[in-house]
A and B are shown apart, each in its own frame.
Chain A
Amino acid sequence: EVQLVQSGAEVKKPGESLKISCKGSGYSFTSYWIGWVRQMPGKGLEWMGIIYPGDSDTRYSPSFQGQVTISADKSINTAYLQWSSLKASDTAMYYCARALGYCSGGRCPSDYWGQGTLVTVSS
């Protein structure tokens, strides 16, 4: 069974750093792109970026380029999303999602999603 299990909820202060994780199981982790999606409270879905764990090829949305870093450790089947300096506006639910099948450059919809990690940034 394919599963993406994300790390737990976080409460941080502005300016702090954070790294959240997404562990894949039940499939070949290195063969499928994994993306990250933000959902701010009461708002829609925003695509942040995507990584191919096999070679760490990464693509970012221009809206998130430079604001976050996406990485992966294929030895432990885990993808990451990290911030070096959080802002209150980073408060949101963050989902990881696996791409459906083989895709060139990560250009695929997502068929399996993690349960979400709620990040709250408040002073």
Chain B
Amino acid sequence: DIQMTQSPSSLSASVGDRVTITCRASQGIVNYLAWYQQKPGKVPKLLIYAASTLQSGVPSRFSGSGSGTDFTLTISSLQPEDVATYYCQKYSSAPLTFGGGTKVEIK
């Protein structure tokens, strides 16, 4: 099975900072990659799919890029409401594995 590795596992940044999270697949997955945001005590929310397509209603400060094995989620200007854990998920084939998550906090 393809493994998904996220880095870092956690980060702390200031409001307004640019934040980048990386997700690496153990084999190529073309662009079958999604990003989710899970706020504390809440249900996961789809942010991005097909590596770079913003889900409807998601703020434009979120963006995704990459293809093959290396992907990034970028928050262009971190806001207090972005405190959450972010997960990547590959869906090129079953099992639709999630990455381990990246916890984002405000410094």
Contacts and interface: CB of A to CB of B under 8 A. Distances in A.
B22 to A, nearest CB: 16
Contact of B46 (A59, A62, A109): A109
Nearest to B56: A111
Contacts of A111: 46, 55
Given A59-B94, A100-B49, A47 B89 contact: yes
Given A35-B96, A107-B91, A107-B96, A62 B101 contact: no
Given A62-B1, A113-B44, A107 B32 contact: yes
Give the one of B34, B45, B91, B101 with max A CB within 10 A: B91
A108 interface: yes
A87 B36 CA distance: 29
Given A45-B101, A116-B43, A107 B94 contact: yes
Contacts of B43: 95, 113-116
Interface residues of B, number: 25
Contacts of B36: 45, 109
Contacts of B92: 107
A46 interface: yes
B68 interface: no
Scoring A35, A63, A95, A109 by chain B CB atoms within 10 A of each residue's CB, the highest score goes to A109
Given A106-B94, A109-B36, 10 more contacts: A45-B87, A46-B98, A49-B95, A100-B49, A107-B93, A107-B94, A109-B34, A110-B44, A113-B43, A114-B43
